Structure formats: structure tokens, C-alpha cells
Structure 1
Amino acid sequence: MALNGKKFELLGYGDEHEIIQTMHYSIKGKVIMETNHVKDLGMHMSNASLTHHYSKTIDAAKKMTNWVLRTFQTRQQKCMLILWKTMVQPK
């Protein structure tokens, strides 16, 4: 299987984080650099907490809410509820 070395990122967790900092991981002779957060399958993972994921998710929901309010003039409860459930809530 051919691996793309450009797509590898190193993210350390827990007490073994000190060990990871002293070790060097490489693929095809290129050292894999450590990062503070990574996006994988739509989930923002961080070595500290889920704060980064929460803020990205909230920002996406706010952007969609603003788009809905700018695009649709009606403020009928039924219409707003449908737009909320289909456009904003999935974010």
C-alpha cells in the first residue's frame, strides 16, 4: 500500500506525551511533525481538550443560522422550525 507522508500528523495524549516529545516518528525518511489539533472524520481532536472542536462546531452553527436568517424573509414558527432542524441542528 502506498502511503502519502504529507497527510500524517502526530498528536500526543495523556502522561505518555513526554515520551512522544522525545521520540521521532518518520515515514519514508520524513519526520512526522507534532500538531496541537487535528481534524479527522469531521471531529476536531486536540491534545488538551475538546474546546477547539466545540468552538468550530458552534461557529459553523452560527454561520448557518445567519445564512438562514438572511436568506428567508418569513419568520413563521413552522418554517423556522423546519429550517432549524434541517440546516442548523445537524451542524
Structure 2
Amino acid sequence: MGLPEAVAAPRVSPRNAVTQAEPAFIASAQGRALAAMGHQFSEIEEIGAATALEFGRRGYVVAVAEPTRRGGGSAMVVHPVGR
């Protein structure tokens, strides 16, 4: 999975003995498999908004932001490494 797909993927988060999960995660193959093993989820509409940077070779930088959560986001590289 690439960085844009990872930022957009459904989320799950264990917090204070409760495992919160977005509906799409609960419905996913991974969510169903975990539920079959006895894991329980507290459904929550969305878990946070994220931005991320991936640093590649030769100063190449990929900036990624949320595509949909909280109305989507914005990410950009102002000064790439080595330029």
C-alpha cells in the first residue's frame, strides 16, 4: 500500500482499554477476522485527520493529506531536501 492509500485507509485505534474503529474497518476483511478471534470494537465515525511526508531518493518528497475525513486536507512540500 502506498502512502496516499495508507492515509485514506479505514482506521482502528486502541484507547484506554476500548478499541475504536471506523465503520469501514469493522466491515473490512481485517476487521471481520479480528472480530472472529474475539476482538470487540466501539464504532466511531472517524478517527482523526492525518498528513504525511515520504522522503525518497535524490530529495524526492511525497506530501499526502486526508482525501475525505474532516472535509479533506492539504499537504505540500515547500522546500524539498537537497534543493
Same fold (TM over 0.5): no
Identify the TM-score tier after normalising by the shorter chain: under 0.3
TM-score (norm 2): 0.22
Question: Which has a greater percent of strand?
Answer: 2
Give the structure, 1 or 2, with the largest relative contact order (CA under 8 Å, sep 6 or more). 2
Bigger Rg over Cα: 1
Question: Which has a greater percent of helix?
Answer: 1
TM-score (norm 1): 0.21
